Structure 1
Amino acid sequence: MSGLVRARLAELLSAQGKLTFAEFMDIALYHPTAGYYNRPEMTIGPGGDFYTSPMVHPIFGACVARQVWQMWNLLGKPDPFFVLEMGAGVGAMAVDFLRMAERDAAFYRAVRYHIVEQGAALRERQQAAAEAAGQRGKIEWFETLGQLPGGQVGVIFSNELFDALPVHRLGKAESGYVEFYIEADGNGYRETAGELSDPQLVALVDEATLTQLQPGERFEVCPAAGEVIEAMGRLLERGFVLTIDYGNLAPDVHLRHRKGTGVRAFWKQKLTEPLERVGEQDLTADLDFSLLIRRGEQAGLQEVGFTDQMHLLGGNGFLQKVAELQKRAREHMDLMADEELHKMLALFMPQSLGEVFKVLIQAKGLEAAALKDKIGALTFSLDE
């Protein structure tokens, strides 16, 4: 299937001479039938190229459901209650979310669960997972965000969505900025510097960060991230947006990659070179959460708080489940409980995924300042 990706790239490179990295990344990941995320043999999980948190343990989806349940309460328990998952992977999060939601009959009855998934192959896998869990009739699927009507009251959430959106690779020059393009190089590809494809790309980075960059240093920008967060904001009349992803706030997210390591490729759970195995490996880049905050404000989304995955899980029942498993392992010599604990703690511990993944909560139609001390992810403390 990667031959179709290479053929499309060859066609464009022949016509244009070079492509922005965003164009290259978009084709590699999202070619309609052969892009990495749209291949029938899409490989996430065991034997695949990477895991997502919902696939590590069901507690992840359960904790997200509990956080959304809390948001439902803060919104006055609306019925119907709009829930939208953006980019649902293989469907594990949706299944675990709805299983947890069933514990509150009124909440489960109110939830209208939607998934936006651009890839037909992934939609089929999500639908199969939902069918197997008896939740198929509770979920409605869409290919694009634009297919959903506005005026919604509810929560939009995503896990590792934004880090897979195409990025432009830029650099600071002695005078101004350059962009790094992709050109053909025999049977492969090479990078070359040139003028910016769009002068407005630099405006996606805050001025304070730009002043800290030195000539020769590099950074990535993601126009699509700003467009998506604005579209989410426009979709809501009242509610929350919950974003879980790799990345950080500016300037840290840009300065830590200024030597050119901001884009990563994964093949069989190992780091590889981004220009290799095109269409066969994952490409990802850290998310600039500050961009989501700034652009979200243009669509009425106000920042409620910024934290990490450890606090999201800890504030939504994670440690209670850990205590239950520890008791089971201790009292019954349950080796399965020990294995389950190991998986769960990988999601939570700071030295593992707990601090790697950041969490941004935004709200619309609510007083953001008054919400911070009412949301579990933002009030959790290990000292309690």
Structure 2
Amino acid sequence: MNLLQKRIIEKIRLAGGRIPFADYMAEALYHPEWGYYNRPEMTIGERGDFYTSPMIHPIFGQCVARQMFRFWRQLDAPPAFTIVEMGAGTGALARDLLAEWDRLQAAAFGTGTGQPVDLRYRIVEQSPVLREMQRESTREIANGRISWHSTLPEVPGYGSLTGVVFSNELFDALPVHRLTMQDGRLQELYVTVRDAGEGAVFEEEPGQLSDEKLASVLSDEILRQLEEGDRLAVSLLAGDAIGAMADALRQGFVLTIDYGDLAPDMYRKSVRTGGIRCYRKQTLVFNPYERVGEQDITADVDFSYLQRMGEEKGLRTIWFLTQTEFLEGLGFLAKVTELQRLAFQDLRADFELQKMLTLYLPQGLGDACKVLIQRKGSCVGVDAD
């Protein structure tokens, strides 16, 4: 039994014998010393437990940068523009995005016409381990433009920003409540402890919902489709997070890229896995109670909920599309065509092409990841370019 398990067990006992799964997941992932994302041993990438789209190929960050440049133009090219990245992982996305932004800006203003934009890049990251990775990744491109903050409200100018708040695979790592249909009614699964001879064992037990808001996330259609024993995950924190992103902006966009789908399809698919997944050493597992703090825990995102909660904060949904469709509109296929011409004679080009296609093809990340673009305030020609 490790120190984090002991910490959670003590928390359960102090709470009267059980805690919501969201509290368990928060400790397992984000405890400041022993949580998965804060452990010095935590690694992401080929030798880690999982990888993200920016780590597969720089084209991903380049495409995101092109979308950012379009956002800037659609906001009537303000002289100062802020990009806030929520949870920047290894920093690969920030690095590739800034490099492509500089290329686009040089192409736009290289003739001496117009003034380059004052770009401010803010990273919101709670993990000291990941912050260090991000600093190292962006060292050569930062040029004094990047600052780090533990929470979104700490970002300078919060509430009056002109720009973009964006995330890639943030919402799927937010703590979730686990719900189940038991005895014909919706109940919550709580985490309890059973003392066994070899040590304490985490178990689950159903009970009344810990927060009445949980039921309101699910539509009547979803509730009607649930069968006895079905399990699903609901994130109230997702609503809080999208609200904070909206509040950060005076005018601009919120760009969200993540695993998930619209309801009810998202829940229909996720009940097969009990609503959550865990990853260790690139292997998918479904027991969140083993190797506590040593494996990632994730849940698909309900994009319908993000849209609904965003609307309450003044965000208007502009686009909801697959990652395939998003990349198509940003020059991805031109790079594919270029590599296809080279691949017949250059094995390195063929290898690069195969990595890129992982981001794009439906059987890869192309369909699994969705892209939501929301707007706050007015802008020039949202469908421009």
TM-score (norm 2): 0.92
The residue that corresponds to 1:161 in the other structure is 170
3-state SS of paired residue (2:271): coil
Whether the 8 Å CA contact 1:158–1:242 is kept in 2: the answer is yes
Q: CA deviation at 1:255?
A: 1.6
Whether the 8 Å CA contact 1:102–1:108 is kept in 2: the answer is no
| Distance in 1 separating the partners of 2:347 and 2:58 | 18
CA deviation map 1:338-375 (0-9, x unaligned): 1111100111111111111011110010379x63x436
Matches within 5 A, 1:191-270: 191-259=204-272, 261-270=274-283
The residue that corresponds to 2:150 in the other structure is 143
Q: CA deviation at 1:97?
A: 0.2
Aligned residue among 287, 293, 298 for 1:279: 293
| Distance in 2 separating the partners of 1:348 and 1:218 | 30
CA deviation map 1:252-274 (0-9, x unaligned): 11122235521000000111221
The residue that corresponds to 2:305 in the other structure is 291
User: What is the one-letter code of the residue matched to 2:262?
Assistant: L
Aligned residue among 172, 180, 188 for 1:179: 188
The answer on 1:315 being equivalent to 2:329 is: yes
Mark the runs of 5 or more structure 2 residues left unpaired by the alignment.
Answer: 110-114
| Distance in 1 separating the partners of 2:193 and 2:234 | 23
| Distance in 2 separating the partners of 1:45 and 1:31 | 22
| Distance in 2 separating the partners of 1:97 and 1:324 | 21
The residue that corresponds to 1:304 in the other structure is 318
| Distance in 2 separating the partners of 1:136 and 1:115 | 15
The residue that corresponds to 1:88 in the other structure is 88
Q: CA deviation at 1:329?
A: 2.8
Q: CA, structure 1 residues 9+340, in 2 after alignment: closer, same or farther (shift >3 Å)? A: same
The residue that corresponds to 1:24 in the other structure is 24
The residue that corresponds to 1:379 in the other structure is none
Whether the 8 Å CA contact 1:243–1:361 is kept in 2: the answer is yes
User: What is the one-letter code of the residue matched to 1:12?
Assistant: K
3-state SS of paired residue (2:28): helix
The residue that corresponds to 2:112 in the other structure is none
| Distance in 1 separating the partners of 2:377 and 2:221 | 30
Whether the 8 Å CA contact 1:169–1:218 is kept in 2: the answer is yes
3-state SS of paired residue (1:312): helix
The answer on 1:363 being equivalent to 2:375 is: yes
User: What is the one-letter code of the residue matched to 1:178?
Assistant: Q
CA deviation map 1:6-51 (0-9, x unaligned): 1210211221211111000000000001100011121100210001
Q: CA, structure 1 residues 14+174, in 2 after alignment: closer, same or farther (shift >3 Å)? A: closer
The residue that corresponds to 2:341 in the other structure is 327
Aligned residue among 157, 161, 164 for 1:152: 161
The answer on 1:11 being equivalent to 2:10 is: yes
| Distance in 2 separating the partners of 1:320 and 1:110 | 29
Mark the runs of 5 or more structure 1 residues left unpaired by the alignment.
Answer: 376-384
Whether the 8 Å CA contact 1:21–1:168 is kept in 2: the answer is yes
Aligned residue among 338, 352, 375 for 1:340: 352
User: What is the one-letter code of the residue matched to 2:34?
Assistant: A
| Distance in 2 separating the partners of 1:42 and 1:80 | 36
Q: What's the RMSD between the two structures over aligned residues?
A: 1.7
| Distance in 2 separating the partners of 1:123 and 1:171 | 37
3-state SS of paired residue (2:313): coil
CA deviation map 1:57-82 (0-9, x unaligned): 11100000001111111111112101
Decide which moves more: 101-110 or 260-269: 101-110
User: What is the one-letter code of the residue matched to 1:43?
Assistant: T
CA deviation map 1:194-251 (0-9, x unaligned): 1111122111222332232234322211010000000000111111111000110000
Whether the 8 Å CA contact 1:22–1:167 is kept in 2: the answer is yes
**Equivalences, count:** 369
3-state SS of paired residue (1:137): coil
User: What is the one-letter code of the residue matched to 2:126?
Assistant: Q
3-state SS of paired residue (2:375): strand
3-state SS of paired residue (1:258): helix
3-state SS of paired residue (2:189): strand
Whether the 8 Å CA contact 2:187–2:208 is kept in 1: the answer is yes
Q: CA, structure 1 residues 57+289, in 2 after alignment: closer, same or farther (shift >3 Å)? A: same
| Distance in 1 separating the partners of 2:305 and 2:206 | 25
Whether the 8 Å CA contact 2:75–2:379 is kept in 1: the answer is no
The residue that corresponds to 1:382 in the other structure is none
Q: CA deviation at 1:139?
A: 0.7
| Distance in 2 separating the partners of 1:339 and 1:108 | 36
| Distance in 2 separating the partners of 1:102 and 1:88 | 19
| Distance in 2 separating the partners of 1:362 and 1:207 | 25
The residue that corresponds to 1:64 in the other structure is 64
| Distance in 1 separating the partners of 2:14 and 2:335 | 57
The residue that corresponds to 2:44 in the other structure is 44
CA deviation map 1:262-298 (0-9, x unaligned): 1000000111221111100000000000010000011
| Distance in 1 separating the partners of 2:98 and 2:272 | 43
Q: Between the two proteins, what is the percent identity of the paired residues?
A: 49
